[in-house]
Chain A
Amino acid sequence: MSDATNVCIIGIGIHPFGRTDALSGIDQGVFAVRAALADAGIDWADIQFAYGGSDAAGNPDTMVDRLGLTGVQFINVKNGCATGGSALFSAQTAIRSGQFDLGLAVGFDKHPRGAFNALPAEYGLPDWYGAAGYMVTTQFFAAKIMRYMHLHGISRRSLGLVAQKAFANGVHAPHAWRRSEVALDTILEAPMVSDPFSKFMFCSPGEGGVALILASERKARELGATPIRLAAATMRTRPPGSFEVFAPSIDLGGGTATATRLAAAAAFSLAGIGPDEIDVAQLQDTEAGAEIMHLAENGFCADGEQEQWLAEGRTRIGGTLPVNTDGGCLACGEPIGASGLRQVYENVVQLRGQGGGRQVPGAPRTAYSHVYGAPGVSAVTILHR
């Protein structure tokens, strides 16, 4: 690849995650775009194209009203839990193709309180499935980790350690929603939501916005930016035999093949590096079990090794592979359209060495992000500097 088609991230912006009653989802997206433009030192009029993602908070392209009617090409993306990742994938493709050299990927969302409220018809399922009380995402996550713990010897205490780390990291992330530590015993003994998960082990739907300015490497140099290179961005859907949210049945022998494994393998292949060369990772942690399973699904360890990894603190900041350095979804909540881009935002912060109290030591050079969600989609990025 040449300087014209290498893709760099040269500006990042975020609206704090959590609850912001006074602002709409689009308001939070606009806030993030303005912050990213300022970070990159460019104006809205310089933006040649944009991809915007939101699952439940309106049409992203309507933000041109607020940012300026420059006539810019602006394409909306709505792709389940991979919405943000898909916006980023599309944006980098526009630059790699050589058609553009400066653009925007933005994602935002604003969900009501409580669990997501899905209806069976939206997922091709019969009405009885919803009436029975099975359109509840937490059931899937709980059943998946319950099987995984049984097969691979993962203890419930390890679930608690993941949550404890998330809240400890969130303390140091200004954009996080939950910013106070929670003791391990409190996490383990809190009321159960869906066994084996207590209420501290699940993230909540929330609000937030993230924007990334992308440029070709040539354009980045022209602008005098310190480029963070996007070595790979991949998105995949589910393979046969996978076990997904809202599953009335699973094929025999199923439950181990996942969209994540496909997206991860494709990303490592594109980047030309292996999992052992990643310095910091943001992995989908819808709940504490997801981070554990995703360590293996993304290739960072074998199934079952997580028990020892967590006991030794390897995924903490300062460990051999710090994971979810801003507290992940557990501390930040999950506004679907923004969540995957938050991971990339955090990785850019880490590669720039601007993480403050949550900075990974040793000047990390490579960073990995991974989204997984309904209806069986996954998006991965690999950054390096």
Chain B
Amino acid sequence: MTPDVSLFATDAPLRLLAARDRTTGRILFPHRDGDGLETITLGRRGTLWSYTVQRFRPKTPPYAGPEAFEPWALGYVELPGEIIIEARLTDIAFDAIRIGMAMELTEVPLDPAVAGSLRLPAFRPTVEAAA
């Protein structure tokens, strides 16, 4: 599967694309084109709003992940002043996940064993810069 270019901005650092309604200011994710909408990039940092762990392999189609299933965490992350978005959670043990924790944007491949696999937005606990 080819990467969906409408998810991520193409320039570094990693950013997610979204749309903003010019009239109401409401932000829409995923990004879409339309009358009165402008393309924006979302902030990279936020706090965890809620989460769950997907423990069984979703049905295929539409799921296109690896045949051998390993559970993954899925969260909603509140980006301050913008929107709450759904994304994978990574670099954290399931039992260490807490609502309200600080998180930052990263990405995970849908299937790590396949080169060029679909890139999914993900959040990991914020790594504070060393003092």
A119 at the interface (CB under 8 A from B): yes
Contact residues of A between 276 and 315, Cβ < 8 Å to B: none
Tally A-B pairs: CB < 8 A: 114
Q: Judging by beta carbons under 8 Å apart, are A194 and B55 in contact?
A: yes
When distances are taken between beta carbons in the complex, the residues of chain B under 8 Å from A119 are: 61-62
Min CB distance B24 to A, Å, is: 10
Instruction: Name B's A-contacting residues (CB within 8 A).
Output: 1, 4, 6-7, 26-30, 49-56, 58-59, 61-65, 72, 74-76, 78, 81-86, 88, 94, 99-100, 110, 118, 120
Q: Judging by beta carbons under 8 Å apart, are A147 and B49 in contact?
A: yes
When distances are taken between beta carbons in the complex, the residues of chain B under 8 Å from A129 are: 30
Q: How far is the CA of A198 from the CA of B110 in the complex (A)?
A: 25
Q: Judging by beta carbons under 8 Å apart, are A192 and B55 in contact?
A: yes
Q: Judging by beta carbons under 8 Å apart, are A248 and B29 in contact?
A: yes
- New A-B contacts (17) at CB < 8 Å, excluding given A120-B62, A132-B65, A150-B100: A115-B59, A126-B6, A126-B30, A127-B62, A130-B62, A131-B62, A133-B72, A134-B86, A135-B58, A136-B58, A139-B52, A194-B55, A195-B51, A195-B52, A249-B30, A252-B81, A255-B49
A265 at the interface (CB under 8 A from B): no
When distances are taken between beta carbons in the complex, the residues of chain A under 8 Å from B118 are: 128, 131-132
When distances are taken between beta carbons in the complex, the residues of chain B under 8 Å from A139 are: 52, 54, 74
Among residues of A, the one whose C-beta sits closest to the C-beta of B50 is A147
Min CB distance A359 to B, Å, is: 37
Among residues of A, the one whose C-beta sits closest to the C-beta of B3 is A128
30 pairs across A/B with beta carbons < 8 Å? Answer: A114-B59, A119-B62, A128-B4, A128-B7, A131-B63, A131-B64, A131-B65, A132-B63, A132-B65, A132-B88, A132-B110, A133-B72, A136-B54, A142-B52, A143-B50, A144-B50, A147-B49, A147-B99, A191-B55, A192-B55, A194-B54, A195-B51, A195-B53, A195-B94, A248-B30, A249-B28, A250-B49, A250-B83, A251-B83, A252-B78
Q: How far is the CA of A298 from the CA of B29 in the complex (A)?
A: 30
When distances are taken between beta carbons in the complex, the residues of chain A under 8 Å from B26 are: 251
